[in-house]
Amino acid sequence: MPERVVLQQADIARALTRISHEILESNRGADGIVLLGIPTRGVLLGRRIAATMSQIAAVPVPHGSLDVTMYRDDLSRGRIRTPSPTQIPPGGIDGAVVVLVDDVLYSGRTIRAALDALGDLGRPRAVRLAALVDRGHRELPIRPDFVGKNLPSSQHERINVRLTEVDGDEYVSIVSPEGDPA
């Protein structure tokens, strides 16, 4: 299968730094921000953005993970999905500005599930969405607030995000199915 690398490690780092600055700019500082990553890779991205933000703003930025498995709308289709832990920072999310972090934004269904999951955990003042890659093809009225890279893609293609912590190497690539000119 032909694979085309679209973001190298340095590009990912730059994109995350820019997102960190954009979040701080739109929120006028790190006040009340809670970053929640969606497992697996969103959690790692959220952790990196939180680290960069706390460096820039010189205050700790709370971050955690939000598992959406139990809120998906496709649980009775396909394979059995096993949940991952949800870790909410000690301060909770009531009244906070929650920034959801995911690696790839596609149909928007994961984010729909995440919004439902958030509703069971508390009442944030606002919810924002950051994604490393936006590949389009939304099926729900959901849009990101902070995007690393817009990657127009065909629905036959697959976006492959690899991060050092779980995959050993780091890049984003587009994989086209056999016989389909990329």
Partner 1 sequence: MRHLLSTRHLSRDEAVAILDVAEDMADVSTREIKKLPALRGKTVVNLFFEDSTRTRISFEAAAKRLSADVINFAAKGSSVSKGESLKDTAQTLAAIGADAVVVRHGASGAPQVLATSGWIDAGVVNAGDGTHEHPTQALLDAFTIRRRFFGADARGRDLAGLSVVIVGDVLHSRVARSNAWLLTTLGAEVRLVAPPTLLPVGVETWPVTIDYSLDSALATPTDVVMMLRVQAERMSAAFFPTAREYARLWGLDDERLARLDEGTIVMHPGPMNRGLEISSGAADSARSTVLEQVSNGVSVRMAVLYLLLSGEREDLA
d(CA 40, CA 67): 9
d(CA 75, CA 67): 14
- 3 by DSSP, 3-state: which? strand
Does residue 80 interact with partner 1 by CB under 8 A? yes
Does residue 90 interact with partner 1 by CB under 8 A? no
Kindly list the strands in the beta sheet with 33-37, ordered across the sheet, starting from the edge strand earlier in the chain: 63-65, 33-37, 97-105, 126-134, 146-150
Task: Specify the stretch interacting with partner 1 by CB under 8 A; choose among 9-17, 55-63, 73-81, 133-141.
Answer: 73-81
d(CA 25, CA 122): 25
d(CA 68, CA 151): 24
Does residue 58 interact with partner 1 by CB under 8 A? no
Using CB under 8 A, pick the residue from 27, 84, 154, 160 that binds partner 1: 84
Give 89 or 136: the residue with its C-beta nearer to partner 1.
89
Shortest reach from residue 162's CB to partner 1, in Å: 22
Both tokens of 107, joined, read 């149909």
Longest CA–CA separation in the chain, Å: 52
Using CB under 8 A, pick the residue from 11, 116, 145, 170 that binds partner 1: 116
Give 84 or 107: the residue with its C-beta nearer to partner 1.
84
The total of other beta-carbon atoms located within 10 Å of residue 128's CB is 19
Give 118 or 159: the residue with its C-beta nearer to partner 1.
118
Give 78 or 90: the residue with its C-beta nearer to partner 1.
78
Task: Specify the stretch interacting with partner 1 by CB under 8 A; choose among 79-87, 131-139, 159-167, 171-179.
Answer: 79-87
Question: Is 9 exposed, middle or buried, given 0-12, 13-18 or 19+ CB atoms closer than 10 A?
Answer: middle
Give 11 or 116: the residue with its C-beta nearer to partner 1.
116
| Site residues for partner 1 per CB under 8 A | 67, 69-71, 75-86, 116, 120-122
